[in-house]
Every structure is written in C-alpha cells, then in structure tokens.
Structure 1
C-alpha cells in the first residue's frame, strides 16, 4: 500500500515538473489583441445587441477597464448604463473619466446631457459650453473630423439603439 501511495505521489509531482502548473502568461502583443477583441465585442453588444447582452458587454468592459488609455472603455460602460436606465450618478463618473482622457464622444455626450437636458433634470448651459469648448480643443476637432455636429449624431446613435434592438 505504501508503494502505491509513493508511486501516486511521484506521478503527481512528475506531472507538474513535466509541464508548468502556472497559468499561461501571454506576451504583450497577444494581450493587446485580446483586449482589442474584448473592446470590439463589447462595442457591438452595447450598440447593436439586445438588452440581454449588456451583462456580457459589462463583463468584457470590466475585464479591460484598467487598460483604457483613450477613455473608450469608460465611454462604453457609460453607454451600457444609459441603455440599462441607470441613475445619472453612476453614469457621470465614467463619462468624466473618458472626457479626462479626451475622448471626443464622451465630451459630446456630456454636452448632450447638459444642453438638452438628456438624463439630467434640467439644462445647464454653462456646463454644456465647457464640454463644447473642450471638444473644440481636441486635435480631431481642429482637423475637422469628426465635426461636433457629427459627434453629436454618433452619440445620439449610441444612446438610442436601432428600433430592432429596442424591441428585444
């Protein structure tokens, strides 16, 4: 009996020695590709997926949130919350984080929130103007693409899903 225990222990330990028991570490290129894939899938789910797909989109976005240099993840997290009809207090910090990273659509969405008002209880023209001016200072705005009216159109499409998605 002791021999069988020793033999089993040797085989178990030999299995760990033959191949690493640590999780596979991906190189930086592979990690970047996986992050881009997660972001692409989340964008598709948030913008054109049914309401039931937002939970998966949120999980994908949460997985890559700490690698968000452009503010895109925070923007799509906010859009997902808007589609889920979350409170403005949960949405604004995400949009502010994205705006701090100078994401043009976050600035346009913040402008929309305060100018219409959209989600906010009342319009705040001074707040809206601040985001409009911040957008005007972006390199993309100085180059003319996307124009601010075009950015507002994109934002409208983000927060107002197509009719075939709304019904799901």
Structure 2
C-alpha cells in the first residue's frame, strides 16, 4: 500500500505542472493534443519503469525521458534522467548538471535533491537551494513541504527498495 501512495504522490507532483504548452491541449482534436498525450504517456511509463527498480528497464526509461524532454517545460524529465544516472552510478558532475538543468526550470524535487546533495560539502550553496525551494509556488502552498520533497527524492535515489 505504501508503494502505491508513494507512486501516487510522484504522479501528482510530476504531472501537475505540465499543462502549459502554448496551445489548447484540453480540446479533443486540437493540433497539439496528441503530442501532449504522448508526452504524458512517456513520462508516466518512464516513472513506472524507474519505480520498478529493475536495471534492465532503465534503458527504455531513459529513451522515454529523452523523448519527453523535447516537450517538457517543467524540468521533470531532466530530474528523472538524473535519478537514473544516480542509480547507474554515473559521474557526479553529469548528475549535477542534469539536476541543475531541471532546477533552472524550477522543478521542486530537483531543487530539493540539489540542496541535499550539496549540504555535506557546501552549506552555503545548500541554503541557496533551500531558499529557492521556499520561493516555489508548491512550497508556498505547503505541498510538498521541503521535508516531504526530501522523503520522495531519498526514496527515488535509494539503492534498495
């Protein structure tokens, strides 16, 4: 049950800010609705594959995220690419670059993860990321709080299930 609650929270966080693409994605038959639906499907499928924690699925998840990143204005795709890189033991510089790209688009989980990753070696930078998080609309609304965001990111990057 906890896995489903965790996954539901991820979906709410991830898909909540995707609706602004410059055309009407809500009207059936609109020119970009099909592209938007495929983008949503790619993100959902990638998150499912990542949540399974089966390394043989990571290549497909990465391909889906790369395709979704072309339409993603929120930084969500880059965040999940960084999660995959962390799980695969990629170069820390590469992971941080991907997280910074996501954070530049104000993706809350990326900012929270950057704050946590830098806290041990650069407290000042970690505080800057924390204050960036506090300025986000989601933080001002109280959901997710910074503490809740840290719980989510820690579960995503943890080595075990």
- TM-score class, shorter-chain normalisation, is 0.7 to 0.9
TM-score (norm 2): 0.78
CA RMSD in angstroms comes to 1.4
Q: Paired residue for 2:7?
A: none
2:138 paired residue number = 140
Would you say the 8 A contact 1:109–1:155 is kept in 2? Answer: yes
| Counterpart residue number, 2:17 | none
* Cα distance in 1 between the residues matched to 2:155 and 2:98: 19
> What is the match of residue 157 of structure 2?
159
1:34 corresponds to 2:69: no
Q: 1:76 matched to which residue of 2?
A: 80
Deviation per CA, 1:104-130, whole angstroms, max 9, x where unpaired? 100000011011x4xxxxx11011111
Name the TM-score, length of structure 1 as normaliser: 0.75
- Match in the other structure for 2:114: 110
**Larger RCO: 1 or 2 (CA < 8 Å, sep 6+):** 1
| Secondary structure of the structure 1 residue equivalent to 2:63 | helix
CA deviations on 1:71-116 (whole Å, 9 max, x unpaired) are 000000000000100011111111111111111100000011011x
Deviating beyond 3 angstroms after TM superposition, the runs of 4 or more aligned structure 1 residues are none
Query: Rg bigger for which structure?
Result: 1
Equivalent-residue separation in structure 2 for 1:90 and 1:113 (angstroms):
13
1:126 to 1:52, Cα distance in 2 relative to 1, 3 A: same
Equivalent-residue separation in structure 1 for 2:67 and 2:144 (angstroms):
29
Q: Secondary structure at the match of 1:91?
A: helix
Structure 1 residue runs without a partner (length 5+):
1-25, 118-122, 164-168
DSSP-derived class of the 1:68 partner: coil
CA distance 1:138–1:106, change in 2 (3 Å)? same
